[in-house]
Amino acid sequence: MTDFFASTVPGLEDLLTAELELLGIDESKVTPGGVYFSSDLAQAYQFLLCSRVANRLTLVLAQADCLTSDDLYNITESVPWEQHFQIGTTFAVTFNGKADWIRNSMFAGLRIKDGVVDRFRTQTGDRPDVDPKTPQLRVTGYLKKDRLTLGLDLTGDSLHRRGYRDQAGAAPLKENLAAAIMLRCRWPDKQLELEYLLDPMCGSGTLLIEAGLILTQAPPGLLRESFGFENWTGHQPDLWHQQQEIAAEKQQTIESITPIIYGYDQDPKMIAIAKRNIKAAGLEGLIQVKQGSIENLDPSQFQNMGQGLLVTNPPYGERIGDQTELVPLYRALGQKIADMQGWRASVFSGNPELVHEIRIQQQRANKMKNGAIPCVLAHYRRSDETTAERLANRDDKTIPKFCDSLANRIKKNQRNLSKWVKNNDIHCYRIYDADIPEFSLAIDRYEDAFCIQEYAAPKTIEPATAQKRLMGAVKTVAALFDIDQKEIAVKQRTKQRGDSQYQRLEQKNEFFTVREGQHQFLVNLYDYLDTGLFLDHRPMRHEIANRINQATLISVRKTNRPYRFLNLFCYTATATVYAAKAGAEQSVSVDMSHSYCSWAIDNLQLNDIDTRQHQVIRADCIVWLEQNNEQFDLIYLDPPTFSNSKKMEDTLDIQRDHVALIKSASARLAPGGVLLFSNNFRRFKLDEGALAEFEIKNISNQLTDPDFQRNKKIHHCWEIRLSGSADAQLEEAPAPAPAKQKPSPWDKASSKRTDQK
């Protein structure tokens, strides 16, 4: 078995893993931007031929700790490069990574180059030539957290270059991204009964061609003329030709498939390019393209055919077209989707504001990236009936008989909450929380989406009985709110210990925007145990906003310095959004999770909050508090009950450690400042004796909204001040300069991030 690394667009790692599993490769490790795996050479050849979403495949030759430039050279020089390519083979070095001792990537690349050349000189007495522009082989180096990986790129040109596209439009999709879009659309899932595909703005036809290749099971690597491994001495031509024949046998003939893929574009030049690309891909008899604009598209000609999928990548104002000029285009697209009754639709765009102009409720969405541009793939489904018709024709008997009590309680709760929801502009709330003993679950509503969280059943309940009740609850919610059962997120909430509290449940990467008053937040109902928006923390968010509103308006505040807010264990920074909107001029949000920091920045940007003034820092909160001397007017401290994450230097037990944590956080309070401390450990007891130096007020009862009145112990909250500071006035003094700390990609919290969650 040999070690390899396959890279892809960040966010597509799950699709890459699925491809490996189809090839029988189970030994894999997912990392941001790719997957490490072990396989034999035949499987690696198959991967190069069949992968639709990969960028490159690297043969891993060495992995070792690397702390200095000398380490980099020595590790490189120890690799037997002479066994992998010959003197007459030109090479170049590609390096990615950061460290304090690396001045720039070119410096690191030169050290690797020196190591390769010196190894050849020592072993053969000669050296290979370097060709930085058109090398026959590429040596790769990657450094992360002082761990170096060295290898050979077996790909040559990136795998997205299939070989069929000689020309493209002004803002083309890469072929592997187009394939990922089609896979995210579940094309061609037979269960969805998708008989047709339409791209009304097809450009050079990339989406159509990738859809055709998927439909015919054509290995995209068969279209390529060359690979980098052809200059690798480990290459086995006979085995390669054998694997090509095996891959070719997977492909279906076009004659066995009814022509079902259609494309339109208003530019006749693009249609001509699309036709050439389709022919080069060998799909000439499967895909039909014609000139035509979205405004002139007649949906009726497709409705009579049966069910289908409309998928398109319209311009989004980043490089072509102006946003205001594109609004009519998106509205026209939305109207066509609305008229395609019985069809599904998916729109890929880098401009969420323009996607909103489609004006149809999204069924789900995937966050993706097109190069450096964050994008969304929004999915829609148009029923053959109108909403009124669906309500009139709905069969209430679809609610299982044994769920009648559950249905009645949900109706009652919804009725009791309706006035409060309307008057307070609430769009996300809990409608049921284990009200009936046999249905021990929570049901949360996120605008038009629902999440059911099943509490772990006691051992006295048979698993089959618990499963029956859970599925009955899903059917009940679907019937009551007229939604598809498949669109309800279902989770099991158990007591979390250690790493399990941060583990991903799925990797759908489906995010959508919800409102809470004038604030907007991204939520994800599937990938994590929590959704990104703690509903029971809603009153605390309002409390934070009210305190900042008062503090920034009342005349008692006699200072010219900015009002500063600190959010510790910030999660997705929803509290920071409230603080910034309420008038906090500056804030710092700290969390140790890479994904949550990324999510936090997205939430800030979604609400037009300047991330230069409102920083998101990825760090262990306990360590960060020890290393910083900044002062804040309001601090929100909401730690988890327990954590032993690998990123922490020690474990956190909130009952054991809360005194030290509160003291450490309160040391960062400015004169007159307030610390709001909360946690969700139901048996938590505050050690007021050990905190006698503070003025403490329990505010838990006043921070419970109607949707959580049934269990008021779910959330404990305290207001904590230094003794004698309740009436203290803020001094007219500048805030202390932040302590110097190790640079981090999150320190500046700019809109440019190093990865995608």
Q: Please, what sign has the CA dihedral across residues 48, 53, 56, 61?
A: negative
Residue 736 DSSP symbol? P
pLDDT in tens, 403-438: 999 999 999 999 999 999 999 999 999 999 999 988
| Residue for token pair 């522009």 | 133
Instruction: Check residue 553 and give its pLDDT.
Output: 65
Tokens representing 560 are 């010219």
The model's pTM: 0.59
Instruction: Check residue 421 and give its pLDDT.
Output: 94
Domain architecture of the chain: domains with CATH: 2-153 (3.30.2130.30), 175-217+252-381 (3.40.50.150), 388-494 (3.30.750.80), 532-722 (3.40.50.150)
In whole angstroms, how far apart are CA 447 and each of 376, 444, 516, 521?
19, 10, 10, 12
Tokens representing 90 are 């030109």
- Tell me the C-alpha distance between 436 and 12, whole Å: 41
Please determine, for residue 737, whether its predicted confidence score (pLDDT) is greater than 60: no
User: 476: part of which helix (H) or strand (E)?
Assistant: helix 463-481
Helix, strand, coil tally for the chain in percent (to 5): 35, 25, 40
Burial (CB count within 10 angstroms: exposed 0-12, middle 13-18, buried 19+), residue 186:
middle
What DSSP line would sit under 346-412, residue for residue? EEEES-HHHHHTT-S--SEEEEEEETTEEEEEEEEE--SS-HHHHHHH--GGGS-GGGHHHHHHHHH
- Tell me the C-alpha distance between 655 and 686, whole Å: 8
Confidence class for position 648, pLDDT limits 50, 70, 90: very low
3-state helix/strand/coil string of 37-102 = EEECHHHHHHHHHHCCCEEEEEEEEEEEECCCHHHHHHHHHCCCHHHCCCCCCCEEEEEEECCCCC
Name residue 153's beta-bridge partners. 58, 138
Is the CB of residue 51 less than 8 Å from the CB of residue 16? yes
pLDDT in tens, 363-398: 889 989 898 888 999 999 875 444 444 444 444 447
Q: Reduced to 3 states, what is the DSSP secondary structure of residue 113? A: helix
User: Strand 716-722 and strand 694-698: pairing?
Assistant: antiparallel
Instruction: Check residue 170 and give its pLDDT.
Output: 64
Residue 68 CB coordination number (10 Å)? 14
Instruction: Check residue 509 and give its pLDDT.
Output: 80
Is the CB of residue 455 less than 8 Å from the CB of residue 529? no
- Tell me the C-alpha distance between 347 and 334, whole Å: 10
Please determine, for residue 290, whether its predicted confidence score (pLDDT) is greater than 90: yes
Please determine, for residue 274, whether its predicted confidence score (pLDDT) is greater than 60: yes
Please determine, for residue 41, whether its predicted confidence score (pLDDT) is greater than 70: yes
Q: Reduced to 3 states, what is the DSSP secondary structure of residue 141? A: strand
Tokens representing 425 are 């502009």
Is the CB of residue 541 less than 8 Å from the CB of residue 705? no
Confidence class for position 90, pLDDT limits 50, 70, 90: very high
Name residue 376's beta-bridge partners. 349, 367
Q: What is the mean pLDDT of residues 591-618?
A: 94
Instruction: Check residue 641 and give its pLDDT.
Output: 87
- Tell me the C-alpha distance between 216 and 258, whole Å: 11
pLDDT in tens, 453-464: 988 777 777 776
Side-chain-facing half-sphere of 166: CA atoms under 13 Å: 9
Tokens representing 756 are 């995608």
Confidence class for position 228, pLDDT limits 50, 70, 90: very high
Q: Please, what sign has the CA dihedral across residues 84, 85, 87, 90?
A: negative
Please determine, for residue 753, whether its predicted confidence score (pLDDT) is greater than 60: no
Confidence class for position 323, pLDDT limits 50, 70, 90: low
Residue 503 CB coordination number (10 Å)? 10
Please determine, for residue 757, whether its predicted confidence score (pLDDT) is greater than 90: no
Instruction: Check residue 736 and give its pLDDT.
Output: 41
More confident residue, 491 or 310: 310
Q: Reduced to 3 states, what is the DSSP secondary structure of residue 746? A: coil
pLDDT in tens, 153-198: 999 999 999 999 877 766 689 999 999 999 999 898 765 566 789 9
pLDDT in tens, 533-543: 999 999 999 99
Tokens representing 516 are 């809470």
Is the CB of residue 56 less than 8 Å from the CB of residue 158? yes
Please determine, for residue 487, whether its predicted confidence score (pLDDT) is greater than 60: yes
Please determine, for residue 45, whether its predicted confidence score (pLDDT) is greater than 50: yes
Instruction: Check residue 754 and give its pLDDT.
Output: 32
Tokens representing 77 are 């020089």
Instruction: Check residue 650 and give its pLDDT.
Output: 67
Residue 222 DSSP symbol? G
Confidence class for position 312, pLDDT limits 50, 70, 90: very high
Instruction: Check residue 146 and give its pLDDT.
Output: 93
Q: What is the mean pLDDT of residues 53-73?
A: 96
Q: What is the mean pLDDT of residues 590-603?
A: 94
- Tell me the C-alpha distance between 701 and 713, whole Å: 9
- Tell me the C-alpha distance between 591 and 593, whole Å: 6
Instruction: Check residue 496 and give its pLDDT.
Output: 44
Instruction: Check residue 397 and give its pLDDT.
Output: 43
User: Strand 2-8 and strand 34-39: pairing?
Assistant: antiparallel
Please determine, for residue 231, whether its predicted confidence score (pLDDT) is greater than 90: yes
Q: Which of 733, 549, 541, 728 is nearest to 631 (CA)?
A: 733
Q: What is the mean pLDDT of residues 487-493?
A: 78
Please determine, for residue 331, whether its predicted confidence score (pLDDT) is greater than 70: yes
Question: Which of the residue ranges 320-334, 597-611, 695-709 would you say has the lowest mean pLDDT?
Answer: 320-334
Name residue 373's beta-bridge partners. 370
